[in-house]
Structure 1
Amino acid sequence: MNNTLSTLTWLFSGLMFALCISIPDGYRIGAGGLLLLSLSLFFLKPKWSMLNKDDRLLFWVFVVFVISIYGAALSDWIRFDSVVKKTLDRFSLFIFVLPVMVLLLNVSGRKEWLWYGVVIGAMSGFSLALYERLVLGLGRARGSENAILFGNISMLLGFLSLTAAAYFFYQKRFFWLVLALSGGVCGIGGSVLSGSRGGWVAAPLVIFFLLWVFRNLLGKKLLSKLILFLLLIISIIVLVPQTGVQARIGQAVSNITHYADNTAKETSVGLRFDMWKAAVYMFQQNPIIGFGESQVKKNKQNLADIGSVSHKIVRFHHAHNEFLDAASKRGLIGLFFILVLYLVPLKLFMNKIRQNECDWKIKFYAVAGALVPMSYIGFGFTNVMFTQKIGVIMYAFSIVLFWVAVKNAENEALS
């Protein structure tokens, strides 16, 4: 029974990555399967003693974050509209992942299936992006999500696939090494085809991190060749007009110029600047607890009526910046908890990287785990990833899955 449960648990874990952007609501299949399997905890009598202080810290980070969201919603209780309800519904998913964490800690691991999942997910997502761009003729690939979320999740899968490539290089499994490298290119390519510039902000930092952390594994000669290859790929992506990157960068520069000289403010970048401006204003007016979800639209409308921002930003429910959005809606308290949600898991994974400097069997999973908050922080400068369930699920479940994979690898090293 336990062997079957273990197999199903890690199968659904891999499926979450494999299907997350290639089929409509594909992420729900893996995450939903894990939630259903977590019901077996009622019969397994889980060993709670297996949770050490770091496990409990991660556990409580999620719990306290959700409590902070519900606390902020109290100010909206009288105006309990659809926006507030949807917000609470989304963020509750951080609680639902916790029994999955306990389940994973109590079953033996086939954690390697996570690598297969991210590679398949990156490649299948890129295939869909190509179909949408070349066959359907869409200007931006989007899958079943909006183009920004599709592109950012694709970029994350690309980063994780590059980590998988390092894993298979270490294992000398060259077939999967080639597939994982292809997955890395496909994940980044899916982001390119989506035209989501926010994901490109995270790319330089993450790629530098990967090159740095794997420098000893690759060796100076191979590392130099890899850097030259990456520069070549980046040059091709930027210079070839068909990718759309050159046009999107040029459009951004033009938008910024027009916004600065006040000749055209209602461009893509100009509207984003106005959203940031409105968020800063709301934060300044109520810096401790913010204005809440239900009052954002009203405040933006007031700013638009006096000509401070464009009327076109009123319809947007968020500020297109994770940190400004939290500050405007939930004040310093909300900003603090969103930073905790990102920085505590990042610190835990970075600690594991340092503690297992020479043990690559553990270190690969720790690197992958660190990439998740690192990427989300980068994405958060130009978007709010938690506006849709896919953003919440891919963050919460990815953190838990790679954390448990690290724990399993540590246990195997001791046995």
Structure 2
Amino acid sequence: MQNNIQSTPATSELALLPFLAWLMASVSLGLSLVLNEGISLAPLFLLCTFFVLLFAKGSWVSDRLDGWLMASFVTYFLSMLLFVYLDGWHTRELDRPVRFLLAIPVLFVLLRLPYKRDLLWYGVMIGALGAFCFAVYDRWILGLDRANGFEHPIMFGNTSLLLGGLSFCAFLYFKAQKGWHKLTVFALLAVSCGVFASLLSGTRGGWVSLPIIVAFIFWQSRDLLDKKLRIWGSCLLIALSVVIISVPQFGVAKRLHEVVTDIERYQSGDFLYNSVGQRFEMWKAAVYMFNMSPLLGVGEYHSVEIKQELADEGLISQSILRFSHAHNEYLTSLSLRGLIGLFFLIVVYLVPLKLFLRKMHLHHHNWNVKAYALAGALIPMSYMDFALTQSMFSHNIGVMFYAFSIVFFWAATRWVEHFQQAKHI
């Protein structure tokens, strides 16, 4: 498909706007875990920019694939609007879903303002490095059991891990551009920082995705990383894993051992302060509620009453009544919004993933473009894994990072694709 994105000549008053817009996108990724609501910086700025550009000369450009991405966001928001209405019209519950809607004018802005080279890579690398610094501060200076920054430890750990994965895409990009350059080495350092920040958070659910993500990236980069380098890299990862598990200060072995002991305690009827056991109880409650209303779910507010009844009947533990979701995105959707809600959740995962994979296939030997598309694909892939043990969209940072980082990397992919095509005209 021909890429019809076009550079819009900027007036002298707006000449700095493209740089500022993309700089803010980079900064929001870089500060996502080191500043409270840091991920919100770019969206706020870009939404204001959208209204400025409404009165500026130039055309708004998008193609069919942009439309598919926007449609997935719109339909997800509309589905949530429907479920909020059916659940008693508690409009405060639209606060998080509306972020998907707000991402659309941001996408229009970034598709209009030319991408400034490499800025997003700097953002994700700084973000991973910042997450590690906060994790070290939390664990080894404040003495906390789990690093968390300004977020819940699970959200902090999952987002740190994703920033590490995005930094590996930066490594591939700089490796293709510059070989073994200082930026290539810095990107590898950022990868390590993101992973170690996740380990220090004790977020076990996110660790499940590591082998899958590593295998996916290594397979996609087999033309860039020779076989010898991939083998040595795999051996190094295995060696590091053994060391990390063996060192008590990281707390990884303790967190993995707790899985076994929690299951044993759960089987003996001990639910209190039992992380794994409480998840089992939340999942059991979600299945009960899904069976009550499989098509549309029972609704978030109605679920409070139902869970209390289930606990009174002894079907679930009283200890989970304080939780508003099932710590599993899929079961949360099934129980609160039924099969229809699960369908729209899957759509908002798979449509962006399919679009990025399409760009990767189209530019499979061009790492100028492929690196951005690979980074974009990692976002829904990671969230689909995180969703097994956490309801990411029940937290502000979960929604903001997903919707807006997808928009950032999609717009960047489109612009870099345009620049590459312009070179051959």
Q: Which runs of 5+ in 1 are unaligned?
A: none
Which residue is equivalent to 1:25? 37
* Equivalent residues of 1:161, 1:184 under 8 A apart: yes
1:120 aligns with 2:126: yes
* Equivalent residues of 2:21, 2:42 under 8 A apart: no
**Using the alignment, how far apart are the partners of 1:34 and 1:149 within structure 2?**
25
* Equivalent residues of 1:291, 1:328 under 8 A apart: yes
C-alpha displacement of 1:241: 1.2
Aligned with residue 50 of structure 2, among 38, 53, 63: 38
2:144 partner SS:
coil
Which residue is equivalent to 1:152? 158
Which residue is equivalent to 2:4? none
**Using the alignment, how far apart are the partners of 1:318 and 1:383 within structure 2?**
9
Q: What is the one-letter code of the residue matched to 2:35?
A: I
1:273 partner SS:
helix
1:277 aligns with 2:263: no
**Using the alignment, how far apart are the partners of 1:38 and 1:235 within structure 2?**
50
Which residue is equivalent to 2:104? 98
* Equivalent residues of 2:27, 2:123 under 8 A apart: yes
**Using the alignment, how far apart are the partners of 1:3 and 1:220 within structure 2?**
45
Q: What is the one-letter code of the residue matched to 1:25?
A: E
Q: What is the one-letter code of the residue matched to 1:142?
A: N
Which structure shows the higher helix fraction?
A: 1
Which residue is equivalent to 2:268? 262
1:204 aligns with 2:215: no
2:223 partner SS:
helix
1:3-402 matched pairs, under 5 angstroms: 3-44=15-56, 47-48=59-60, 50-77=61-88, 80=89, 84-172=90-178, 174-259=181-266, 261-266=267-272, 267-402=274-409
Judging changes above 3 Å, is the alpha-carbon distance between structure 1 residues 103 and 271 closer, same or farther for their aligned structure 2 residues? same
**Using the alignment, how far apart are the partners of 1:213 and 1:99 within structure 2?**
32
Aligned residues: 408
**Using the alignment, how far apart are the partners of 1:111 and 1:9 within structure 2?**
13
Provide the alpha-carbon RMSD of the alignment: 1.2
C-alpha displacement of 1:72: 0.7
C-alpha displacement of 1:288: 0.4
Judging changes above 3 Å, is the alpha-carbon distance between structure 1 residues 132 and 95 closer, same or farther for their aligned structure 2 residues? same
* Equivalent residues of 1:297, 1:315 under 8 A apart: no
C-alpha displacement of 1:14: 0.2
Q: What is the one-letter code of the residue matched to 1:190?
A: A
Which residue is equivalent to 2:7? none
2:133 partner SS:
helix
Relative to the length of structure 1, the TM-score reads 0.96
C-alpha displacement of 1:378: 0.6
C-alpha displacement of 1:300: 1.1
C-alpha displacement of 1:405: 1.0
Q: What is the one-letter code of the residue matched to 2:124?
A: V
**Using the alignment, how far apart are the partners of 1:281 and 1:242 within structure 2?**
40
* Equivalent residues of 2:160, 2:194 under 8 A apart: yes
1:216 partner SS:
coil
Q: What is the one-letter code of the residue matched to 1:23?
A: L
**Using the alignment, how far apart are the partners of 1:356 and 1:2 within structure 2?**
32
C-alpha displacement of 1:86: 3.5
* Equivalent residues of 2:110, 2:411 under 8 A apart: yes
C-alpha displacement of 1:3: 3.0
C-alpha displacement of 1:31: 2.6
C-alpha displacement of 1:45: 5.0
| Structure 1 residues 246-268: Cα deviation after superposition (integer angstroms, max 9, x where no partner) | 00000011112332x33423311
Relative to the length of structure 2, the TM-score reads 0.94
Identity of aligned residues (%): 43
* Equivalent residues of 2:84, 2:91 under 8 A apart: no
| Structure 1 residues 106-163: Cα deviation after superposition (integer angstroms, max 9, x where no partner) | 1111151000000000001110110111111111111111111011110110000111
Q: What is the one-letter code of the residue matched to 1:39?
A: F
* Equivalent residues of 1:16, 1:30 under 8 A apart: yes
Which residue is equivalent to 2:6? none
**Using the alignment, how far apart are the partners of 2:123 and 2:111 within structure 1?**
20
* Equivalent residues of 1:356, 1:363 under 8 A apart: yes
**Using the alignment, how far apart are the partners of 2:343 and 2:99 within structure 1?**
20
**Using the alignment, how far apart are the partners of 1:240 and 1:3 within structure 2?**
52
* Equivalent residues of 1:2, 1:107 under 8 A apart: no
* Equivalent residues of 1:288, 1:331 under 8 A apart: yes
* Equivalent residues of 2:380, 2:402 under 8 A apart: yes
**Using the alignment, how far apart are the partners of 1:86 and 1:248 within structure 2?**
35
C-alpha displacement of 1:94: 0.5
C-alpha displacement of 1:46: 5.3
**Using the alignment, how far apart are the partners of 2:91 and 2:137 within structure 1?**
35
**Using the alignment, how far apart are the partners of 1:165 and 1:299 within structure 2?**
49
**Using the alignment, how far apart are the partners of 1:45 and 1:310 within structure 2?**
61
